[in-house]
Structure 1
Amino acid sequence: MTNQPARAVARALEPFAGQVYFAPECHERYQALGFGPSPGDGNGVQLPNGPAYFCSRGSVMGQVSGEVVAAAFGVFNPAAVVPAVSEGWTLTDADTICAARTAGAVDQLRRILGESPDGLDEIVAVLRRATDGLPVAGNPLYAGLVAQDRPNDPLGEAWWLTDQLREFRGDVHVNAWTIAGFDAAEIGLLTELYWGLPPRSYVRTRAWTNADLDAAQERLESRGMLREGALTADGRAARENVEVLTDQGCERIVSGLGDGLDTFVSVVGDWSRRVRAADGYPSGPKDVAPRSAN
């Protein structure tokens, strides 16, 4: 049985929290540190520069190596992550890019939502309850965010706390598919088909080579998860079970929201819709997939 509240929370907060990776205000700050500009756009939404993305998101854990970043993010090819992070740390340090990340994310939200969108104070109070007592064990990106200084303004705090919830779910998700026996290339192939995307489209944003994907596909076919490039019933059930395990791991968030759950989903969901409408976050995974997938 799926935990619908956990998924409703994830859907509501994703664009509001995840807009940090597409915010022009972030990209401009990273470029000022020496990183390359946004490499283009996905249906009007600015896409992130690779080294800046890996270093900025990873910076919440400190100035760690590319191997640590690859391990925490889970789904990316370490062969791409490690040199990108090494390059990034020649340009800046973790504290500097982490501060740029926070400032840029909040600036985009101010531009789109205003300084104090309706319901902000109530949502901050609800988020404090939801994040109180979440475990750090096995959750490296969430733990890194907890260690960061709390922004001193309500909108900044709301973003910081939703980013914690987003990374907590992401950490749980990596643990879930790892426990289920999948590797990163395999879960990428399964996920894009589970989402209804063309084969080998979105997974290419994770820097896997054709050889990597060929080998992963062969492994999945041998386990009965794929047949002729499509999900089998067993493959779909296995991928859905990863989501169920993730939902179960996020039950603490739902419990923490308590009677504020409906308010959170409604208010933060509305903020997220406004962020998407302003091209602050993609309309879906297809917007960030390479145009010439094969």
Structure 2
Amino acid sequence: MDRSTAPSAERRLGGALEPVIGQVFFSPEAHDGYAELGFERPSRRSGDVQLPDGPAYFTSRGSVMGDVSGEVIASAFAVFDPRVVVPCVEHGWTLTDAVTICATRDRGALGQMERILGADPAGRSRVEELLVRATDELPVEGRPLAAGITGLDDPDHPLGIIWRRGDLLREYRGDSHTAAWITAGFDAVQIGLLTECFWGLPARSYARTRGWTDDDFDVAADTLRSLGLIDTDGAFTAAGRDARENIEHVTDAQMAPVMSVIGDHIDELISLLDPWGAAIRSAGGYLASGPHDLAAQTF
């Protein structure tokens, strides 16, 4: 694959949306709401950012699908060890139900957005217009998290449509990415190791935050070496880099329903979202540089 070209528009949109929408996982307003439901308050930080409590994370994000089992949530999230996810979700459902924690999640996301950006940040109406255009007729077959979000109303808040439709697009790409690596024949541990190489992270650092053990990593690494995708030090081979890059290309291709309706306005949308994301990062509402900051986190 030619890695000298600029990132695709699909990936740039995902990157612009990430801090604006993914901030919900680090929102103090959300953490406070979950604590009121009986979850633990976060005890870990990455710089100025509060890292989420595991049971609250799995239960709140999974709540868009309803009161489903831990096995279903583990399957939808895909990259986490079910041995970690299932007990976290079982505990979460002893404290609350999907409707309640989903509403709490909405309030937490919107509370932090409004605190940092204000209720009417520059470009709000245009971002709302483009996100509605991108999601009103979005097909969600085979995309469980995105499908769950389509069943939810837009919150009654000045930023409510942006939050809901942005969350839908974020999970739509995530669901599509899962489909891409499953189709390529990888399992969750293998894709974790390949992604660390792809991002330039130390082996077994970020992937460890997904709950996997050294034995799991050993088995996955042996398989990837036997396929000629990593070398004896765990680094990419040329074939491994191409295989991992191809997963991103396949994911990009699945974003066609979004890109076809946004069309030539994609750069405009990204340019409006980027300052919002920068403001959220600067205020400690999202990780400063992305997955690198999560390397020490465990659920």
How far 1:44 sits from its partner (Å)?
1.6
Structure 2 stretches of 5 or more lacking a match? none
The corresponding residue for 1:289 is: 295
Show the counterpart of 2:138: 134
Partner of 1:85: 89
CA distance in 1, matches of 2:126, 2:158: 10
Supply the AA of the counterpart residue of 2:253: Q
Amino acid across the alignment from 1:247: D
Following the alignment from structure 2 to structure 1, what is the Cα–Cα distance between the partners of residues 53 and 85? Answer: 12
Counterpart of 1:266 in structure 2 is 271
Q: Provide the identity percentage.
A: 53
Amino acid at match of 1:48: P
What is the deviation of 1:153? 2.5
Quote the residue 2:227 is aligned against.
Answer: 223
Q: State the alpha-carbon separation in 1 of the partners of residues 297 and 184 from structure 2.
A: 31
Q: Give the match for residue 102 of structure 2.
A: 98
1:253 and 2:253 correspond? no
Counterpart Cα distance in 2 of 1:87 and 1:267: 40
Which residue of 2 is the match for residue 31 of structure 1?
Answer: 35
Give the distance between the partners of 1:89 and 1:207, measured in 2 at CA.
20
Report the Cα distance in structure 2 between the residues aligned to 1:183 and 1:246, rounded to whole angstroms.
Answer: 16
**Any idea what SS the aligned residue of 1:89 has?**
helix
How far has the Cα of 1:39 moved from its partner? 2.7
Shift of 1:8: 1.2
* Contact residue 185 and residue 216 of structure 1 kept, 8 A: yes
Could you tell me whether the CA contact under 8 Å between 2:229 and 2:240 is conserved in 1? yes
Provide structure 1 residue ranges, at least 5 long, that are not aligned to the other structure: none
Q: Structure 2: which amino acid aligns with 1:288?
A: L
Q: Give the secondary structure class of the aligned counterpart of 1:142.
A: helix
Please give the secondary structure, in 2, of the residue aligned with 1:287.
helix
Alignment of 1:10-159 (within 5 A): 10-159=14-163
Counterpart of 1:241 (choices 221, 242, 246) is: 246
Q: C-alpha deviations, 1:211-260, integer Å up to 9, x for none?
A: 11111111111111111211111111100000000000012211221232
AA aligned opposite 1:112: I
Residues 15, 276 of structure 1: 8 Å contact kept: yes
Q: For 1:77-99, what per-residue CA distance to the aligned partner results, in whole angstroms no more than 9, with x for missing partners?
A: 00100111000000110000000
What secondary structure sits across from 2:194 in the alignment? Answer: helix
2: CA distance, partners of 1:147 / 1:288: 31
8 Å contact kept, 1:121–1:154:
no
In 1: Cα distance, 2:164 partner to 2:246 partner: 29
CA separation in 1, counterparts of 2:120 and 2:263?
24
Deviation at residue 291 of structure 1 after TM alignment: 7.3
Partner Cα distance (1:251, 1:280) in 2: 30
Aligned residues: 292
Once the 2 structures are TM-superposed, how far is the Cα of residue 70 of structure 1 from its aligned partner?
A: 0.4
1:124–1:154 Cα contact (<8 Å) kept: no
CA contact (8 A) 1:132 1:256 kept: no
Q: From 185, 191, 195, give the equivalent of 1:187.
A: 191
Q: Partner of 1:201: helix, strand, or coil? A: coil
1:226 partner SS: coil
Partner of 1:174: 178
The one-letter amino acid paired with 2:100 is T
1:275 and 2:275 are equivalent in the alignment: no
TM-score by length of 2: 0.95
Which amino acid counterpart does residue 215 of structure 1 have in structure 2? V
Q: 1:291 to 1:157 in 2, by over 3 A?
A: closer
Task: Tell me, in whole angstroms, the C-alpha distance in 1 between the residues paired with 2:180 and 2:137.
Answer: 21
Asked whether the equivalents of residues 209 and 297 of structure 2 are also in contact (C-alpha less than 8 Å), the reply is: no
1:21–1:48 CA contact under 8 A, matched in 2:
yes
